[in-house]
Amino acid sequence: MTVPLHLKGYDIQCNGQKYVPSSENFRKHSSSRATSNSVWSSSSVIYSRSSKPSFSNANFPTTPEGRTYHLGTKGGEVANRILSVGATQRAELLSKLLDPPPNGGQLFRYLSSRGFLTVTGEYQGTPISIVSTQMGMPNMDFVVRECRAVVEGPMAVVRLGTCGALQPPASLGQLIIAHSSINIRRNPDAWSDLSTASMLPAYMFTLPVQADPHIVRLLAEEASSTMGASNVISGLNATADSFYSSQGRVGGNFDDRNEGLIEEMCEKYPDMVSLEMETFHLLDMARCSGGRVRAAGMCLALADRKSNEMLEYARLEQLEVEAGLAALRALIKTDLD
């Protein structure tokens, strides 16, 4: 499916330096004009930080005006519905699907000194924030906790990332929605000098944590509409603590003891279809939120870990837009009452 989209490049600043998105080749997209009250100030378009901020409260550092330590946002700048993406470029791309506030303002954008980009606008009249999460579970932790700290009321978070396809029915270019996720971690004790180290597993697996079933259903429906049902699957996700060792990538420079790790995972979990580095932590944070955060994750398959093939990168931008549209449509249909 071809999604029409026209995206003009935006210049934003961080620490006085201009940030220019690397991709400017976008097409026109029409969406409903926002009509509801927005959660951000229409004058809050660009923030730049010319000097080092002052933080207080070592337990949860914030500036005097309430800006968080890593994302740098404060109350009123982040919506209750959040699309989390890995790359800043992807956040910039998908932000062109958002409408500015109805009073003639512009999208709110904040690029923190730590490299987290937050863009807040509206999609079909509903406030949405797109946040670049970067890579790994610690960064996902920053995003969920610091957004939770500045948002009033319940939240819904959808992750749109990239992953490796582990086994059929997953294949290159598909959108893989995680109905649940496990965490796989390298076990450092297995490399210790203890006499029992050789008896310890080199890698450990957690029990699965479930995604929000309502959001998973909405994502599947909307993605089937934008991408075609044959290009969308659902299954068990694995979130690793490393791009290399815990994802079974082998090499001679380190003693990773991960030969056969992917085969072991697939045998242990026959419905495991995707492998990446963030989804488990998002779902785990939602599970621990006391019902105040609903979450789900989905990823575009860039690598086939069995055949060792990679997706043609030229295809990625279109797939990101199609999947991004599905995520936005699912988010606005998610009930937060």
Question: Over pLDDT 90: what percentage of the chain?
Answer: 80
The whole-angstrom separation of Cα 52 and Cα 84 is 27
Q: At what angle do helices 316-333 and 88-95 cross, to 10 degrees?
A: 60
First to last CA, the chain: 33
Asked if 131 and 12 sit in the same domain, the reply is yes
Asked if 147 and 186 sit in the same domain, the reply is no
Query: Across the chain, what does the average pLDDT equal?
Result: 87
Sorting pLDDT into bands at 50, 70 and 90, what band is 29? very low
Determine, yes or no, domain membership for 157: no
Asked if 227 and 301 sit in the same domain, the reply is yes
pLDDT at 22 (0 to 100)? 35
* Radius of gyration of the chain from its Cα atoms, rounded to whole angstroms: 20
69 in Cβ contact with 61 (< 8 Å): yes
pLDDT at 101 (0 to 100)? 83
Residue that is last in its domain, among 119, 152, 185: 152
Q: Is the pLDDT of residue 270 over 80?
A: yes
pTM for the model: 0.86
Determine, yes or no, domain membership for 85: yes
Determine, yes or no, domain membership for 230: yes
Asked if 212 and 235 sit in the same domain, the reply is yes
pLDDT at 1 (0 to 100)? 42
Residue 112: closest CA among 18, 59, 66, 49: 49
The whole-angstrom separation of Cα 222 and Cα 214 is 12
Asked if 270 and 335 sit in the same domain, the reply is yes
Q: Which residues pair with 297 in a beta bridge?
A: 159, 178
Q: DSSP label at 68?
A: B
Q: Is the pLDDT of residue 282 over 60?
A: yes
The whole-angstrom separation of Cα 189 and Cα 310 is 33
Coil, strand or helix at 269: coil
Asked if 127 and 167 sit in the same domain, the reply is no
pLDDT at 51 (0 to 100)? 59
* Residues of the domain holding 9: 1-152
pLDDT at 10 (0 to 100)? 32
Give the Å distances, CA to CA, from 253 to 187, 188, 227, 245, 250: 18, 17, 40, 11, 9
**Cis amide linkage into residue 168, ω under 30° from 0:** no
Q: What is the mean pLDDT of residues 56-83?
A: 95
Secondary structure element (H or E) that encloses residue 221, with its range:
helix 213-227
Q: Which residues pair with 181 in a beta bridge?
A: 209, 237
Asked if 210 and 88 sit in the same domain, the reply is no
Give the tens place of pLDDT for each residue, 30-56. Answer: 333 333 334 554 444 444 454 578 999
Give the tens place of pLDDT for each residue, 198-240. Answer: 899 999 999 999 999 999 999 999 999 999 999 999 999 999 9
pLDDT at 337 (0 to 100)? 86
Q: What is the mean pLDDT of residues 13-38?
A: 34
Asked if 282 and 258 sit in the same domain, the reply is yes
Domain tally for the chain? 2
Determine, yes or no, domain membership for 50: yes
Q: What is the DSSP string of 119-138?
A: EEEEETTEEEEEEE--SSHH
Asked if 193 and 125 sit in the same domain, the reply is no
Q: Is the pLDDT of residue 147 over 80?
A: yes
Q: Is the pLDDT of residue 292 over 80?
A: yes
